[in-house]
A and B are shown apart, each in its own frame.
Chain A
């Protein structure tokens, strides 16, 4: 069951943490917790929703561990908000631009957008997984699309110019 959900787990931790190393730690932690606590999951209920809660807890702990590490290892150095920027040089310019716009969205908007627009969940399914009302999920998806696309267009002066002229 967990194996079938593995690509989704990787995506969830990546979208929430936006840091590959942290995401890898969190994904590993998810599997450990699934092995330890699978007994608390009711097989007749939604496995995705239960798994998502496990992922959320692991992401929270990964962030906390990162915070502690950062304060212990380099308390005086101002750390960059995007420590993996160098690695992104390898990605294409468009992908980098799109990721920057994506990073600027609140986590909840990123999650809903990724679940619905990239992973093919319906807003009602995403709502169940995320533990929110279906109406809220739809509204969040609407806001997320608008916020992301506005940001993407703001980075394209040529398209903006055309739109202004029209």
Chain B
């Protein structure tokens, strides 16, 4: 096989597979130099990338993210309260127009009639908005019930997994073998996963509760 083919392979094979070309590389200076150079540069690239990774720990990133997430979701507007307030204002102002006799002697009957029609339209619109908000409220309530159930299950599973991990650790400490070591590691991993799940359920529920508040 010619050097050209080997050099083509050196350009596209994974570096770990260069060893398979060892027979040729051992007696061809040019191809060996090329392979060594590529190996060296690949390692250098890895060093370079590692040297460029941000020095940001997961814990600090998570702490900042939790603060940000809380800050964004805390001051939520409560639209249904504004609608209720608007309805009260419209009732107070429009009420006079609906009942011209009660509105006082200064309001002519024809003006009171026009205002009454506008008032009816506003009431209809507000009723529609109220219905839509009630529907949304019911949806959120349902979601909250579901998430509360999920949170309860997730917490129970996290507790059970943590207990199992602890039991495995004690077994390992009281003279365990390699098999116990693997079982303990597996239990630890499982406990971590369950704890993550429980934490995720907590966040989801906290968000829904904030929406409902």
Contact = CB atoms under 8 A, between A and B. Distances in A.
- Chain B interface size band reads 35 or more
A contacts with B: majority SS: helix
A47 to B, nearest CB: 11
A149 B40 CA distance: 11
Contacts of B28: 166
Interface string A71-99: 00000000000000000000110111111
A159 B204 contact: no
A154 B203 CA distance: 53
B30 A38 contact: no
Interface in A128-160: 142, 145-146, 148-150, 152-153, 156, 158-159
A112 interface: no
A34 B200 CA distance: 10
Interface in A8-55: 10-11, 13-15, 18, 20, 23-24, 27-28, 31-32, 34-36, 38-39, 43
Instruction: Report the 7 A-B pairs with minimum CB-CB distance, sorted nearest first.
Output: A166-B30, A95-B48, A94-B44, A98-B45, A24-B54, A31-B65, A99-B48
Interface of B: 3, 7, 10-15, 28-31, 33-34, 37-38, 40-42, 44-49, 51-56, 58, 61-62, 64-66, 68-69, 72, 193, 196-197, 200, 203-204
